Amino acid sequence: MTKILVVGEHDGKQLNPSVAKVLNCVSGFQAEQTDVLLMFAEPVQQIIQAAADIEGVSRVLTVKAPEFENPLGASVVALLSAMVDEYSHVLVANTTYGKDFMPRLAALKGVTQISDLMRVESPYIFDRPTYAGNAIVTIEAPSDQLLCATVRCASYSAVGKSAQPAPVEPLEVSVEFPTHTRFIERQAGSSDRPDLSSSKTVVSGGRGVGSSENFKVIYNFADIIGAAVGASRAAVDAGYVPNEMQVGQTGKIIAPDLYFAVGISGAIQHLAGIKDAGTIVAINKDEEAPIFDIADLGLVGDLFTVLPLLEEEIKK
Ligand SMILES: Cc1cc2nc3c(=O)[nH]c(=O)nc-3n(C[C@H](O)[C@H](O)[C@H](O)COP(=O)(O)OP(=O)(O)OC[C@H]3O[C@@H](n4cnc5c(N)ncnc54)[C@H](O)[C@@H]3O)c2cc1C
């Protein structure tokens, strides 16, 4: 019997949009039951309702414990390992949160973790990217053990709302939480701009931008078109922008409808992060830059000339 547990991420205010994308992936499993697990220090009705409204959810399970005020991988796994034995699959989005705890769970249960599911052929046969997204491999997982997997959200759109909300069941689970790992503080970049992972439009700057001061041209242009701002690893490594803005194999994997690559050459590790983007626009002064091979629209020119011209046209 295919019985799936989806671990639902939230920030204490809202359900993460990735949960509805994981449910889209789950629809390919033809599962008999799909539960969404939400962990809280204090349950938040709005989050529970949002999960119950997602199409394909059989039950929303809630667990309350002080440890989930700031959930750490070690605490999440302590809970999961106490409750997953009745499930055939445990799935989570390939966000930082999911990638943090899923390998721990797999190790504790003595099973293999499967990363970045991007197509489901059957409950144990999947496609996933390899070689920085340059090849897609079809894999078969053992069907006689728990399957722990992360879902490549950029490959899935969110499922819609269910006509009938799923029932909500608070769970009483007795768990001994670990004390060797504890939460100290959270340091997060704050920005009024749209979220890079989920924005429909993204403007990324690369080494060609030249400095953190020059990055103002990228921010200005992004603000005019209401876009999130990303960057190449070279721009991050040079200290132009913080690490959380990196797009690519070792950064964020995104799927905006419209992506601007400005002063970015188009290395495969960068392209791995924008494989599922809709329209890619490249602005580069080198007409031989590899980014033009994959761009839908290319502008050969100096970004400091081209961006102000584009802004003028857009403002008109
Ligand atoms: C294991 C591994 C993982 C990696 N992960 C990532 C990753 O996640 N993300 C990532 O991005 N990279 C990653 N990289 C690095 C990657 O290989 C490239 O080095 C990097 O993407 C290059 O960044 P860039 O295009 O900004 O810089 P460059 O390759 O230096 O390109 C700069 C571009 O700007 C253009 N330019 C310069 N001045 C101007 C101007 N005034 N106007 C217009 N264009 C201009 C140039 O013509 C050039 O094409 C990884 C590498 C490795 C080995």
Task: Find out whether the beta carbon of 206 lies less than 6 Å from any atom of ligand 1.
Answer: yes
CB hemisphere CA count around 69 (13 angstroms): 7
Q: What are phi and psi of 149, to 5 degrees?
A: -145, 150
Domains 3-170 and 201-315 share a fold: yes
Q: How far is the CA of 236 from the centre of ligand 1 (A)?
A: 10
Question: What residue segments make up the domains of the chain, in order of their start?
Answer: 3-170, 201-315
Structure tokens at 58: 């059989």
Q: How far is the CA of 232 from the centre of ligand 1 (A)?
A: 6
Instruction: Give the angle 143-149-155 at the CA atoms, nearest 5°.
Output: 115
User: Of 195, 234, 218, 241, whose CA–CA distance to 304 is shortest?
Assistant: 218
Task: Find out whether the beta carbon of 234 lies less than 6 Å from any atom of ligand 1.
Answer: yes
- Tell me what pLDDT residue 132 has: 78
Q: How far is the CA of 259 from the centre of ligand 1 (A)?
A: 15
Q: What is the pLDDT along the chain (316 residues), one digit of tens a residue?
A: 999 999 999 999 999 999 999 999 999 999 999 999 999 999 999 999 999 999 999 999 999 999 999 999 999 999 999 999 999 999 999 998 999 999 999 999 999 999 999 999 999 999 999 987 889 999 999 999 999 999 999 899 999 999 999 999 999 988 999 999 889 998 777 678 898 988 999 999 999 999 999 999 999 999 999 999 999 999 999 999 999 999 999 999 999 999 999 999 999 999 999 988 999 999 999 999 999 999 999 999 999 999 999 999 998 8
Q: How far is the CA of 150 from the centre of ligand 1 (A)?
A: 28
Task: Find out whether the beta carbon of 265 lies less than 6 Å from any atom of ligand 1.
Answer: yes
Nearest CA to ligand 1 atom 30: 207
Which atom of ligand 1 approaches the CA of 266 most closely? 25
CA distance 38 to 51: 9
- Tell me what pLDDT residue 316 has: 87
- CATH class of residue range 3-170: alpha beta
Task: Find out whether the beta carbon of 232 lies less than 6 Å from any atom of ligand 1.
Answer: yes
CA distance 275 to 127: 15
Residue 3 is given by DSSP the state E
Q: What are phi and psi of 307, to 5 degrees?
A: -65, -45
Ligand 1, from 213, 245, 249: best to mutate by most atoms within 8 Å of Cβ?
Answer: 249
* Torsion angle defined by CA atoms of residues 67, 72, 78 and 82, in that order, rounded to the nearest 10 degrees: 80
Nearest CA to ligand 1 atom 40: 302
Strands (E), the chain: 3-7, 33-40, 59-64, 89-93, 113-117, 119-122, 125-130, 135-140, 147-151, 168-170, 201-205, 228-231, 258-262, 279-284, 297-300
In our burial notation (b when 16+ CB lie closer than 10 A, e otherwise), range 5-19 reads bbbbbbeeeebbebb
CA distance 21 to 70: 23
Ligand 1, from 130, 237, 269: best to mutate by most atoms within 8 Å of Cβ?
Answer: 269
CB 245 within 8 Å of CB 215: no
Task: Find out whether the beta carbon of 282 lies less than 6 Å from any atom of ligand 1.
Answer: no
Nearest CA to ligand 1 atom 31: 265
Q: What is each CA distance from 249 to 106, 274, 275, 297, in whole angstroms?
A: 23, 9, 10, 23
pTM of the model: 0.83
Q: What are phi and psi of 261, to 5 degrees?
A: -105, 110
Q: How far is the CA of 60 from the centre of ligand 1 (A)?
A: 43
Report which residue type is found at 52.
A
Instruction: Give the angle 271-274-275 at the CA atoms, nearest 5°.
Output: 80
Task: Find out whether the beta carbon of 289 lies less than 6 Å from any atom of ligand 1.
Answer: yes
Strand partners, 138: 127
CB 154 within 8 Å of CB 255: yes
Q: What is each CA distance from 31 to 6, 44, 149, 190, 304, in whole angstroms?
A: 12, 27, 15, 39, 53
- Tell me what pLDDT residue 104 has: 96
Which atom of ligand 1 approaches the CA of 249 most closely? 8
CA distance 124 to 113: 12
User: Of 11, 10, 58, 53, whose CA–CA distance to 31 is shortest?
Assistant: 58
Q: Which architecture does CATH list for 201-315? A: 3-Layer(aba) Sandwich (3.40)
User: Of 147, 120, 110, whose CA–CA distance to 5 is shortest?
Assistant: 147
Strand partners, 117: 151
